[in-house]
Amino acid sequence: MNPDLRKSFCIVLNCQSGTLSTLGPTVVSEGLKQIFEELGCTVVIHQVTGAELVTALQSARDGDSDAVIVGGGDGTVAAAATVFAGHQKPLGILPLGTFNLAARDVGMPLDWQEAARSLVAAPVGEMDLLDVAGELYMCVIVLGFYPALVMGKPEYHGSWVVKTCHTCWDALRSMATFPPLYLNLQAGGQLQRYRTRIAMFANNDYEDIFGLIPRRRSMDAGYFTVYISKHKSRLGLFRSFLAWMFGHWKEDREITFFQATDLEVNVKRRRRIAVMMDGELQKLSLPFRVKLIPKALRVIAPRLLEKTEGEAA
């Protein structure tokens, strides 16, 4: 659809997402209505609970609006991705979570009001998704000590910078003493074995640039990247964190990484394992499968303007 013709929106807000509950759902809804009406658009806004989210998204997907916008954290956006995968109606993302990984990946401004304005005219692109044990996710899967560490903790909904610092501190404090995973990864009949305390499966891969939260290189590269830590000490992990932050992680000899499209994941002497998927924690039965679903989701992506402007230059 030509962005100039995108005039009607249905917005689904998860009122139980931390940032939205802090700002106030009514305040956000009224602000969104004013923004879209000022831009000459019609808008219908639904405030729902987590239990009502999927039904509301399905109804919005099958409705008459030009696009559907979901507001919430990365778990909320992942639920929307599952509902909209394989459908033509584009999905927009309002960054109303803590890390807002999916919103960052598509180039959304992190200020929700600025993000709302960008959704009217930004181009639509196709995004790869990760199928994990039959559920779809947009960003990243994490195994190892960090999911296990936070499984029993209350969820934090404050500043992403504060949460990043807490995450790094918890990692440095706990990594060296957490029992290692004996990870078995099988693809195409080939079995690879690793001893690790943390492993990550990232949709596509990450750019080598400075930043606390890495930037995805592409939305539709057609593969995912597996990052496996072989660090055995806090010092090694701290050096790795610095290398990651300054965009030099490929120089870290204690990180193994490779690309794949379909993997079976197993862990020796385990039946279940804590897994973090787009910020949501679950315990998955082993083995489970990670598979890339190419160009599965049509998403409104301001980052595509960068490519258009670059080609024009």
CATH code at position 251 = 2.60.200.40
Q: Which of 12-16, 157-161, 277-281, 298-302 has the lowest mean pLDDT?
A: 157-161
Q: Give residues with Cβ within 8 angstroms of 249, minimum separation 6.
A: 208, 240, 243, 255
DSSP 216: B
Task: Compute the average pLDDT of residues 216-224.
Answer: 93
Count structural domains, the chain.
2
Distance CA 275, CA 288 (A): 11
The CATH number that applies at residue 54 is 3.40.50.10330
| Judgement on whether residues 245 and 189 belong to the same structural domain of the protein | yes
Fill in the amino acid letter for 140: V
| Judgement on whether residues 121 and 148 belong to the same structural domain of the protein | no
Mean residue pLDDT of the chain comes to: 85
| Judgement on whether residues 54 and 98 belong to the same structural domain of the protein | yes
Domain that holds residue 26: 3-128+296-312
| Judgement on whether residues 90 and 145 belong to the same structural domain of the protein | no
Distance CA 172, CA 218 (A): 30
pLDDT tops 70 at residue 133: yes
Residue 103: strand, helix, or coil: helix
Q: Classify burial at 212, counting beta carbons within 10 Å of its beta carbon; exposed 0-12, middle 13-18, buried 19 or more.
A: middle
Q: What number of other Cβ atoms are within 10 A of residue 160's Cβ? A: 20
| Judgement on whether residues 197 and 226 belong to the same structural domain of the protein | yes
| Judgement on whether residues 288 and 154 belong to the same structural domain of the protein | yes
| Judgement on whether residues 148 and 61 belong to the same structural domain of the protein | no
| Judgement on whether residues 171 and 254 belong to the same structural domain of the protein | yes
Q: What number of other Cβ atoms are within 10 A of residue 6's Cβ? A: 20
Token representation of residue 154: 């209350």
pLDDT tops 50 at residue 313: no
| Judgement on whether residues 81 and 217 belong to the same structural domain of the protein | no
Predicted confidence band of residue 249 (pLDDT cuts 50, 70, 90): low
List beta partners, residue 125: 299
| Judgement on whether residues 153 and 50 belong to the same structural domain of the protein | no
| Judgement on whether residues 192 and 282 belong to the same structural domain of the protein | yes
| Judgement on whether residues 101 and 227 belong to the same structural domain of the protein | no
- State the DSSP string of 177-214: GSPPEEEEEEETTEEEEEEESEEEEEEB-B-S---SSP
Per-residue pLDDT, 168: 61
Better-scored residue on pLDDT, 207 or 73: 73
Predicted confidence band of residue 151 (pLDDT cuts 50, 70, 90): very low
Fill in the amino acid letter for 52: E
Token representation of residue 213: 């939260």
